[in-house]
Amino acid sequence: MNPIFYAFAFLLFIAVVLGIEGIYQWWNSHHGPAARRLDQRIRALSAGAHANGERLSILKERMLSNSASVHALMMRVPRIHLLDRIILQSGSSLTVGRLATHSVVALVLVLLAANFSPVQVPTLVTVLAAVAALAFPTLRMLRARRKRLRVLERQLPEAADMISRALRAGHSFSSALGMLGSEFAEPMAGEFRIVFDEINYGVTLNEALLNLATRVPVGDLRYFVIAVLIQRETGGNLAEILDSIASLVRARLQLFDKVRVLSAEGRLSGWILALLPFASAGAMQVVNPTFFSVLWEDPAGLQIIETMLVSMVLGILWMRRIVQIRV
């Protein structure tokens, strides 16, 4: 064949490869793991509540949405930053705008499914399903936040011990924080990396620790911050103080685990009592579909369902309060 054809095919292949490589490099620099890590750390730094305005002005502002117009609209919503802080505390890379989009999409899908369902869905069931779909992304975010904060709480004793050992080895407190951020496990390492970076950026140690207590609302971590701040004002052996904090937190976590074991039966009973009516109603609906039809066809039946749901919610909240023991 014509050598020009082969040359053209070869150059076309090289152009396609270079184009794909260029697209990959662009995506990796803007959306890759390293870019996401850097963006997460900068957003967390800008979320600190105690640094002054001059220092915050050089940091990237936390955007509530990728769209500037949506961001400006959400800024008018009162206490919207509380939701944004919850997202940060959960460790998610979502924004408030994307979380709201997920909620709206879930709501629309449930309404469309109920509208085009071949079976007539009761209005009350549709409303409950729509409310559950609307709240599901936020509840999932709250669950991820609780899980991450629980992990941070359990990592605190080992982190305090590591700082104490670094101080006994002759390192300064700020360098001990840097060692913790580079050698400890996530997510605790990421939080202390932010503290170390803030100190390197010129934020004082007191403000960096206060920002840590703001980002991570864990009681034991706040005790750690308060102990360090008091020690810096009054003096003393910080390594011994950290050892005492680590042993105290370990003892409290052991007691908390013991309480959870002793209250496991009550929590399991609460789940069974809460799910048993729905499971029984579903089974009876499958066996005899006309048996429960009177509940949503008759006005009195709808009132009975409403009263039953309100009573169940109150009972679940009361049982949860009984078995939830704070240590």
Nearest 10 degrees: Cα torsion 280, 138, 113, 131: 60
Find all residues with CB under 8 Å of 89, minimum gap 6, and list them: 145, 148, 149, 215, 216, 217
What's the rounded Cα separation, in Å, for the pair 279 and 127? 20
φ and ψ at residue 50, rounded to 5 degrees: -120, -10
What's the rounded Cα separation, in Å, for the pair 163 and 176? 6
The full set of domain ranges for the chain reads 3-24+62-149, 154-251, 252-323
- Over residues 266-288, the pLDDT tens digits come to 778 878 877 888 888 878 877 88
pLDDT at site 48: 47
What's the rounded Cα separation, in Å, for the pair 104 and 54? 38
What's the rounded Cα separation, in Å, for the pair 78 and 157? 37
Residue 126 has pLDDT above 60, yes or no: yes
Residue with tokens 């490589």: 21
Q: Which range is least confidently modeled, 184-198, 220-234, 309-323?
A: 309-323
Q: Which CATH architecture has domain 154-251?
A: Up-down Bundle (1.20)
DSSP three-state, residue 309: helix
As a whole number, mean pLDDT of residues 109-121 equals: 80
Residue 320 has pLDDT above 80, yes or no: no
Using CA atoms, how far residue 179 sits from 170, 172, 189, 191, 270, in Å, is 13, 10, 9, 12, 45
Cβ proximity of 95 and 67 under 8 Å:
no
pLDDT at site 60: 47
- Over residues 287-304, the pLDDT tens digits come to 887 777 777 777 787 788
Residue 46 has pLDDT above 60, yes or no: no
Find all residues with CB under 8 Å of 241, minimum gap 6, and list them: 227, 228, 231
Residue type, 178: G
